[in-house]
Amino acid sequence: MSDVFTGNFTQQEPISEEGIAAAVAVMRSGRLHRYNLTEDEVGEVSALEQEFARSVGAKYCLAVASGGYAMGCALRAMGVGAGDKVLTNAFTLAPVPGAIASVGAVPVFVGVTEALVIDLEDLAAKADQADVLMLSHMRGHICDMEALMALCDAHGIRVIEDCAHTMGGGWKGIPSGRYGALSCYSTQTYKHMNSGEGGLLVGDDAELMARATILTGSYMLYGRNGAVPEAEVFEAVKYDTPNVSGRMDHLRAAILRPQLRNLDQQVAAWNARHDVILNGLRGTPGLAVVERPEGEQYVGSSIQFLLLDWAEEKIHDALARCAARGVELKWFGGAEPVAFTSRYDSWRYAPSNPMPKSDRVLKGIVDMRIPLTFSVEDCAFIARIIRAEVGAVFQAG
C-alpha cells in the first residue's frame, strides 16, 4: 500500500499551562458557580465576558453553557416562540435548526451556493416568510455580509449570527458576529477555543442582552456580570423574562481566557495549514476547491471541497480509499445522518421542500477537520493523498 497518514483527526492541542493553573486555582477555591463571588471580586466568567466583548467590539457579552444554548437564548430574547418561522441555512449542523425547534419555532431553509454560503437569491425569494434569520457561517464560510444585511434590512428581518466556525474571522475587517443584532459563538472542543462545552452571546441592544442575561439564570444577580447593560434596563424586563438556566462556570472561563489572548496566533496557524491543503488540491481531476472571496477573513480550522455530479458509489469509493490511507473525510450528501453530518431533509421535525440547486451542491460536499496538532508538512501529505485517491477514482470513470 502507498504511504499512510497516521495523525488523529480528533486530537486537539493540550490546554496551556496558564489555563491549567487558572483552572486549578478555581478548583482550590471551591467556588465554581459564576455568581459565587467574594465582595468586589470580578470572577473568571465576568472577566472573560469583558475581554471577549472588547475583542470583537461589542457592548455586551454573556458567557453560557454552549453555542446551541446561545442560539436558543438569542431567539427567546427576540421573542421568537411557538409557531413562528425562522429563516436559516440548508447547509448547517443540527444544533442550528435544533435551537429553532427548541423554542417551538419552525425553520425555513434557505439554499446554499457552490461557495458554501447562503444563497441570497433564495433568501430574497423567502424573505416574506419570517422576520428573523439565523445565519449559520457554516464551516467558516462567510457570505457577502453587506449584501445580506441590505437585503434583511429592506425586508425588516432581524439577524442572529451563528459564529461557531468563524470566531477570529470577519468580513471586510469587521469581526464575525458584528453584523447581526445578536451573535453566538461556541467553545466546544472542536471550535476555535476549547472548554469542552461552552458558548458566548454578544450584542449591542441593551434590552435584548438584558433579557438574555435573565434567561440564562442570573436571578437578580445580573450586577455581577462582566459586560451587561445598566440596572435600569433589567428593571423593565425582569418580571416577564423566564429563567432558562444555561450559565458558564468559572472553571471553563478560566480555561478560555488564555486561549482568547492567543486566538490571533491560532488563526494564523490554522490558515497556514488550510492554505497548504487548498493549494495541494487545486487542479485535482473531478474535484472543485472552494475559493475564498477577497473580503473574507477566514479561519481555516476545516476545509471543504466539492465532488459535483459524482455518483454516490464513486464518492463512497473515493472516501474509502482516503480512509485506507489514514485521511478521515466526511460527506454531507448522504441520505442518512452520519456522525455530525446531516442534510436539511434529515431533520424530520422541520418541514422542507426539495431545493434542486442546493441538493446538487449538498450531495457533493466533502469536509475535513484540520487540528492544530497537524504540522504544515502533515497537511501537504494529506493533500497529496486526497489528490491521488480522488483523482484515481475520477479517472477510472
pLDDT at position 318, please?
98
d(CA 396, CA 67): 43
Residue 313 has pLDDT above 80, yes or no: yes
- Rg over alpha carbons for the chain, rounded to the nearest Å, is 21
Residue 150 has pLDDT above 70, yes or no: yes
- DSSP secondary structure string for all residues of 245-263: --B--HHHHHHHHHHHHTH
Handedness of CA 195, 257, 186, 35 (dihedral sign): positive
Domain residue extents for the chain:
17-261, 263-396
d(CA 381, CA 397): 25
Q: How confident is the prediction for the chain on average, in pLDDT? A: 96
Residue range 230-271, pLDDT digits in tens:
999 999 999 999 999 999 999 999 999 999 999 999 999 999
Nearest to 327 by CA among 385, 286, 367: 385
pLDDT at position 340, please?
80
Residue 370 has pLDDT above 70, yes or no: yes
Q: Which one-letter amino acid corresponds to residue 144?
A: D
Work out the angle at residue 52's Cα, subtended by the Cα atoms of residues 47 and 57, and round it to the nearest 5 degrees. 130
Q: Which one-letter amino acid corresponds to residue 48?
A: L
Q: Exposed (0-12), middle (13-18) or buried (19+): which is 28, by Cβ within 10 Å?
A: exposed
Residue range 384-394, pLDDT digits in tens:
999 999 999 99
Pairing status of strand 158-162 against strand 132-136 = parallel
Report, at the CATH architecture level, how domain 17-261 is classified.
Answer: 3-Layer(aba) Sandwich (3.40)
CA atoms within 13 A on the CB side of 364: 23
Residue range 68-105, pLDDT digits in tens:
999 999 999 999 999 999 999 999 999 999 999 999 99
For 67, 235, 252, the CA distances from 12, given in Å and listed in that order, are: 19, 43, 16
pTM of structure:
0.96
Pairing status of strand 330-331 against strand 170-171 = unpaired
Residue 39 has pLDDT above 90, yes or no: no
The pLDDT confidence band at residue 339, using thresholds 50, 70 and 90, is confident
pLDDT at position 38, please?
87
Q: Exposed (0-12), middle (13-18) or buried (19+): which is 87, by Cβ within 10 Å?
A: buried
Q: Which CATH superfamily is domain 263-396 in?
A: Aspartate Aminotransferase, domain 1 (3.90.1150.10)
pLDDT at position 335, please?
79
For residue 232, give every residue at least 6 positions away whose Cβ sits within 8 Å of its Cβ, in sequence order, or none: none
For residue 198, give every residue at least 6 positions away whose Cβ sits within 8 Å of its Cβ, in sequence order, or none: 63, 64, 65, 66, 67, 186, 187, 188, 248, 252, 256
Give the start-end residues of each E strand in 23-93.
60-64, 85-89
For 105, 123, 290, 357, 358, the CA distances from 353, given in Å and listed in that order, are: 17, 15, 26, 12, 11
Residue 1 has pLDDT above 70, yes or no: no
- DSSP summary character for residue 347: -
In degrees and rounded to multiples of 5, residue 165 shows phi and psi of -110, 10
